[in-house]
Amino acid sequence: MGMTLLLGGCGSTGSSGVTLRLVAADYGDSPKNSSKKYWDSVVQAYEAQHSGVKVEVSVYSWNDVDAKVKAMVADGHAPDLAQIGAYADYAAAGKLYPASDLLSIRTQADFLSQLSEAGQWNHTQYGIPFGASTRVLFYNKTLFAKAGITTPPTTWDELASDAKALKDKGVTYPVALPLGPEEAQAETMQWLLSGAGSNGGNGYTDDVGTYTIDSAQNVDTFTWLKDDLVGKGLTGPVAPGKLNRADAFAAFANGQVGMLNGHPTLIQQAQQKGVQFGMVPMPGRTGTPRAAMGVADWMMAFKQNGHRDQIGDFLNFVYSEKNVLAFSRDYGLLPVTGSASAAMSASDAAPDKALHPFLEQLPTSELYPVGKTSWAAVAAAVKQNIGQAVAPGGDPSGVLTRLQATATAADSSAKN
């Protein structure tokens, strides 16, 4: 079911001579595939139908884009739209339009429900999902064959046994465990969610959004990682707390890693180096985990310039099935709408088929607690400290207890 604009046609935005300013993140890794190319195409098509509205897009790297928007807002010159990594601080400050003030009912209804829910602050949706991904376990088929492993692991015990077999064959990183400061909050959440088999682990929060970082399940998870993987020399020569995701991905692409958790961008990286690999759901403690980890980036609309109607009309266009699919295919990400997800699931074209393992997990995935204004501080603390939990002589319970105290304090501060 393709989306149709409820407000289509020139002049439908209620006024003419309006310029919308959008600041967006760059998903490309070179000028050749910069997100600017995607946005130029979308804007050209939109402006052809709406002669009274211009859209100016500024694209910045992920290293800079959040800070750029923060500076613009602080200077009193908020953009009309920002497509960045987090929305909750701006929602809490009263600076954003609710999604329901912008989007048609058809557009709103098409978003995957758990993504819409993750976009809520104080029970109102302000964050509009833009790009999404999940994580799966990548494994090197060539190294598995050399180690005599015939099937990928489905439980933690099988994963540890396979890692031991890989180590015995001289594999540098039997299982890579990147708990370094680049993206440790992601690796951590994957293990927390898979920590109690079919019942799932706690993740960072419970069902009502209270931080539960130091739960008994989570302590047990990191005790197992410390004792059964790291302590047995199954995670490679670099301490997990010093191993960043980018370095782990590069090592996998170089054929040095038996297993690691990865997102869709690793597909192309490994294929370019000729690695023969497979992808399976993250093993659970005793079987299938409750949920995979999902990640989403966010579109938001600032109230400062008062262009609500024009913003809404443009966003209804942006979130058409055609445009959502084009973006997802350009950058190896998952569609955030049901219509585009269904189209990708039904496609056997190579780029779409490669994403099917990730796409299958998205409807039941669990996202970071991005609706909490405290999350940024908590994520930063996890990045800096979680590696200590699996270090020699480390104390998983003590590290998680300290992180819980940090989270509780940040949550309390955010509410006051």
State how far the Cα of 49 lies from the Cα of 194, in Å rounded to an integer: 48
Closest among 377, 368, 386 to 242, alpha carbons compared: 386
Could you check whether 18-132+295-367 and 136-291+374-415 share the same CATH topology? yes
Structure tokens at 164: 């031991």
pLDDT in tens, the chain (416 residues): 233 333 333 334 444 689 999 999 999 877 888 999 999 999 999 999 998 999 999 999 988 999 999 999 999 999 999 999 999 999 999 999 999 999 999 999 999 999 999 999 999 999 999 999 999 999 999 999 999 999 999 999 999 999 999 999 999 999 999 999 988 999 999 999 998 644 445 799 988 889 999 999 999 999 999 999 999 999 999 999 999 999 999 999 999 999 999 999 899 899 999 999 999 999 999 887 878 899 999 999 999 999 999 999 999 999 999 999 999 999 989 999 999 999 999 999 988 999 999 999 998 889 999 999 999 899 999 999 999 999 999 999 999 999 999 999 998 887 65
Direct distance between the N- and C-terminal alpha carbons of the chain, in angstroms, rounded to an integer: 45
> pLDDT digits over 305-337, tens only?
999 999 999 999 999 999 999 999 999 899 999
Hey, which CATH number is domain 18-132+295-367, 3.30.2320.80, 3.40.190.10, 1.10.3260.10, 3.40.50.2000? 3.40.190.10
Q: What is the DSSP string of 244-271?
A: -HHHHHHHHHTT-EEEEEE-THHHHHHH
Whole-number Å distance between alpha carbons of 110 and 116: 10
Give the model's pLDDT for residue 29: 75
**SS3 for 107?**
helix
Contact (CB, 8 A) for 369 and 209? yes
**What DSSP assignment string belongs to 132-200?**
EEE-EEEEEHHHHHHTT--S--SBHHHHHHHHHHHHHTT-SEEE----STTTHHHHHHHHHHTTTGGG-
C-alpha gyration radius of the chain: 22
The pLDDT of residue 10: 37
Q: What is the pTM of this model?
A: 0.86
Distance of alpha carbon 383 from its chain centroid, rounded? 15
Instruction: Find out whether 39 and 299 touch, Cβ atoms under 8 Å.
Output: no
| Distance from the Cα of residue 306 to its chain's centroid | 30
CA distance 161 to 339: 41
Q: Where are the domains of the chain?
A: 18-132+295-367, 136-291+374-415
CA distance 359 to 200: 20
Look at the chain and count its residues.
Answer: 416
CA distance 168 to 171: 7
Close Cβ partners of 380 (under 8 Å, ≥ 6 residues apart): none
What is the C-alpha separation between 45 and 286, in angstroms, rounded? 51
Taking the C-alpha atoms of residue 208 and residue 285, their distance in angstroms, rounded to an integer, is 24
Class for the domain spanning 136-291+374-415: alpha beta
Q: In this structure, what token pair is assigned to residue 163?
A: 């890692």
Closest CA to 103 of 118, 116, 122: 116
CA distances (Å), origin 217, targets 109, 195, 224, 229, 310: 35, 7, 11, 17, 48
Long-range contacts formed by 36-41: CB under 8 A, 24+ apart: 37/330, 38/326, 38/327, 38/330, 41/326
Report the C-alpha gap between 147 and 1 in whole angstroms. 47
pLDDT at 220: 93
